[in-house]
Amino acid sequence: MIGTIPLTDVLLASAALFAVGLAGALLRSNAIAIFLSIEVMMNAANLALLGYGAASGTLEGQAAVFFVIAIAAAEASVGLAIFVALFRHTETIDVNKIHLLKW
């Protein structure tokens, strides 16, 4: 596994993955699909962090990604609990049909 990966490849992959996640978050109307797209964007950020960490030869990137993954677990559990409570209340998780706070 000897060889080099240019940092530009890592950053381009990260940017493309982030754009895909952004597209999903903006265009989908299912709340769970939007949440999944946010997870994809978070992973794009993780990829960039690890790329810079490997390029600089320090462990800071790996430590940051470790904390991001742990916080993502907490965020996912609370977010999905909110969706379950919302579904009990309104019988849908389509974000176009939930307009309780909209004028």
Partner 1 sequence: MARIVFDSAAVLTIVFAAVMVLSRHPVKGVLSVVVSFFFLAVAYVLLAAPFIAAIQVIVYAGAILVLFLFVLMLLNIRLEEVETDTRPIQRVLGGGAILLFTILLVTLLSARGAPKAVDQALATPSSGAIEPVARFVFSEYLLPFEALSVLLLAALVGAFVLVSREKRP
Take residue 48 and report the two structure tokens written for it. 């960039």
How many residues sit close enough to partner 1 to count as binding (CB under 8 A)? 71
Query: Least distance (Å) from partner 1 to the CB of residue 103?
Result: 16
CA distances (Å), 82 to each of 26, 88, 93, in order? 20, 10, 10
Q: Does 18 bind partner 1 (CB under 8 A)?
A: yes
Considering beta carbons, is residue 72 or 98 the nearer one to partner 1?
Answer: 72
Phi, psi for 86 (deg, rounded to 5): -65, -40
Measured distance CA(24)–CA(43) in Å, rounded: 14
Q: Does 89 bind partner 1 (CB under 8 A)?
A: no
Q: Does 54 bind partner 1 (CB under 8 A)?
A: yes
Q: Does 84 bind partner 1 (CB under 8 A)?
A: yes
